Amino acid sequence: MDTRLFKRFHCFKIAAMPATSLDQVVSLSKRRGFVFPGSEIYGGLSNSWDYGPLGVELKNAIQQWWWERFVTKRQDMVGIDAAIMMNPKVWVASGHVANFNDAMVDCKQCKSRYRADHLIEEADPKQKVDGKSPKELTEIIKKMDLACPKCGTKGKFTDARIFNLLFRTNLGSLEADEPAGRSPKGEVRSREVYLRGEIAQAMFVNFKNVLNVTRKRLPFGIASVGKAFRNEITPGNFTFRTLEFDLMEFEYFIREAEWETHFDYFLREQQAWLLEMGFSEDRLRVRQHTKDELSHYSRKTVDVEYKTPFGWKELFGLAYRTDFDLKNHSAQSGADLQYTDPDTNEKFIPHVVEPTFGLSRTTLMVLLETYDEEKLEDGDTRTVLRLHKRLAPVQVAILPLSKKENLTAKAQEIYNKLQKETNLRLDFDVTGSIGKRYRRQDEIGTPTCITVDFGTLGEDEKQGAVDTVTIRDRDTLKQTRISIVELIGRL
Ligand code: GAP
């Protein structure tokens, strides 16, 4: 574990207690509209989740920050947005058809299915499972005499067997149950394809296209954001491990001799961004993969892990993929994926360092990290999300003191002005007492509330001077009176 790297950065710090249980965040998410169970009115679909009005704002804000920080503001980075379904040969060349596997076992009693390594690790975290064959995992399970976590039956597991994580689907208009190839009438039948298991492959297969149009010189990166799909055997922990999820990553093309320099640099960049977002360094650590644990394409991988209420878990990854992908795509497709040095004319296949950032996981971990239950002086407890201002789904809430028409009209005027003259995400709330509305905004992490009262209208000097409003700070609870003309500068 090396948290020293984190200590070099001095960033926005939140004095938050993180969530102590996942349930706190699950319940807040449902209650306030961050995340809903997928297809809920039909009884749901296991481990599928939909982002609600606030969740989508939070996820988009994280994504936009990432894109700006790692793509737009860097001269050495460009982006692409690629198709989810690719020619299946891509996944053969990338090694995913042969190697993107987990070992699974079934309980013969209750038919529950488990990832063999997770089953063992959960019973005894010290057991070594990485790189073990299905046969070895079967023996460990037998030796440990494990019980099914669901029904408690012992010794009733099937032997472990390999399961490929790529999702399959069919292209084409004919019924899926017809065999592939051509129908008796000569029509092309459906063709099996995969939903992408990682978004990285599009950056490799577009390497030459991007190089040709951008004329970038090494080192440079190609970035992308989008959905990836994995038929996980044991999804769970809310949105932590799901079958479809959002990823943000880039492939950084380099000369082989420089890989360690770039690797260390991007690890620091990943850590720096986490601190900028407000993560506490005490809940972050870096863990290097053991040799047995490495993905088939990687020579070195580290995970940046976050201390969740369900243990230390991977948040970001960083891999040195060597020239594995470009070399294989070049060999299998016949395309020349070499880079030509413009000064020396030397031709070679670049190596790659790949920083990967789970967007769905970052969204969940931002919620866990910023969740706070604060005891107030009056004995009450308030729930507050201490989100960074850039990430808050609502950045400013405009609250008329009551529903009286002249108050709401004035508040609406202020709302319209802010909407027109700023890019802030705004909310306008008139329902319930002002105290309840403040609590609601605290719960969704709104950094600033603006209250419009009778002082604003010039009808009550005790509340404040005419054309002034109260600004309330989410974290300090401090309320300040400022004039409407100062508002935009202040926000
Ligand atoms: N291209 C490299 C790659 O995909 P990975 O470690 O397999 O690497 C990248 O996945 C990131 O995606 C992880 O660091 C994690 O944040 C996230 N992730 C992986 N599997 C996930 C799942 N089933 N549900 C949600 N997020 C997942």
Q: Which atom of ligand 1 is nearest to the CA of 235?
A: 23
> Ligand 1 centre from 133 Cα, in Å?
22
Handedness of CA 53, 56, 62, 63 (dihedral sign): negative
**Under 8 Å between Cβ of 317 and 361:** no
* Eight-class DSSP state of 275: H
Q: Is 96 in the pocket of ligand 1 (CB under 6 A)?
A: no
Q: Is 317 in the pocket of ligand 1 (CB under 6 A)?
A: yes
Supply the DSSP string of 3-68, one letter for each residue: -GGGGG-------PPPPSSHHHHHHHHHHHTSEEETTGGGT--TT-EEE-HHHHHHHHHHHHHHHI
Highest mean pLDDT among 94-108, 164-178, 322-336: 322-336
Task: Work out the average pLDDT over 117-135.
Answer: 90
**Under 8 Å between Cβ of 374 and 381:** yes
- φ, ψ at 315 (rounded to 5°): -115, -55
d(CA 169, CA 167): 7
Q: Given pLDDT bands bounded at 50, 70 and 90, which one contains residue 482? A: very high
d(CA 426, CA 418): 8
| β pairing state of 220-229 and 77-79 | parallel
Structure tokens at 43: 């009884």
Nearest to 246 by CA among 455, 58, 412, 416: 58
User: With 70 as the cut, is the pLDDT of residue 321 above it?
Assistant: yes
d(CA 239, CA 35): 9
Terminal C-alpha separation, the chain: 40
For tokens 């099937």, what's the residue?
158
Highest mean pLDDT among 69-73, 229-233, 378-382: 69-73
Strands in 300-308's sheet, in edge-to-edge order, are 77-79, 220-229, 244-254, 351-358, 311-322, 300-308, 284-288
* Eight-class DSSP state of 233: S
User: With 50 as the cut, is the pLDDT of residue 37 above it?
Assistant: yes
Q: In one letter, which amino acid is 329?
A: H
Of the residues 356, 359, 365, which should be mutated to test ligand 1's pocket, given the most ligand atoms within 8 Å of the CB?
356
For tokens 């040095």, what's the residue?
341
Helices then strands (H, E): number in the chain?
A: 14, 23
Task: Give the residue, by CA position, lying nearest to ligand 1 atom 21.
Answer: 241
Strand partners, 353: 252, 320
**How many C-beta atoms lie closer than 10 Å to residue 428's C-beta?**
17
Could you tell me where the DSSP H helices lie in 278-379? 324-333, 359-370
Q: Given pLDDT bands bounded at 50, 70 and 90, which one contains residue 2? A: very low
Q: Which atom of ligand 1 is nearest to the CA of 295?
A: 7
* More confident of the two residues 6 and 206: 206
Burial pattern 151-181, b for ≥16 Cβ within 10 A else e, equals eeeeeebeebeebbbbbeebeeeeeeeeeee
Q: In one letter, which amino acid is 97?
A: V
Q: Which atom of ligand 1 is nearest to the CA of 316?
A: 14
Task: Work out the average pLDDT over 93-102.
Answer: 92
User: Is 385 in a helix, a strand, or coil?
Assistant: strand
Q: Is 470 in the pocket of ligand 1 (CB under 6 A)?
A: no
pTM of the model: 0.91
- φ, ψ at 352 (rounded to 5°): -135, 135
Task: Give the residue, by CA position, lying nearest to ligand 1 atom 16.
Answer: 358
- Please state, in angstroms and as integers, the Cα–Cα distance from residue 63 to each residue in 245, 280, 314, 430, following that order: 13, 20, 18, 31
Q: Is 279 in the pocket of ligand 1 (CB under 6 A)?
A: no
**Under 8 Å between Cβ of 394 and 55:** no
Supply the DSSP string of 440-469, one letter for each residue: HHHHTT-SEEEEE-TTTTTS-TTT--TTEE
3-state SS, 148-174, equals CCCCCCECCECCCEEEECCEEEEECCC
Q: Which atom of ligand 1 is nearest to the CA of 199?
A: 1
* More confident of the two residues 473 and 133: 473
| Sequence-ordered list of residues with C-beta below 8 angstroms from that of 357, at least 6 positions apart, any chain | 66, 247, 248, 249, 270, 316
Task: Give the residue, by CA position, lying nearest to ligand 1 atom 17.
Answer: 358
Convert the pLDDT of each residue in 341-386 to its tens digit: 999 999 999 999 999 999 999 999 999 999 999 988 888 899 999 9
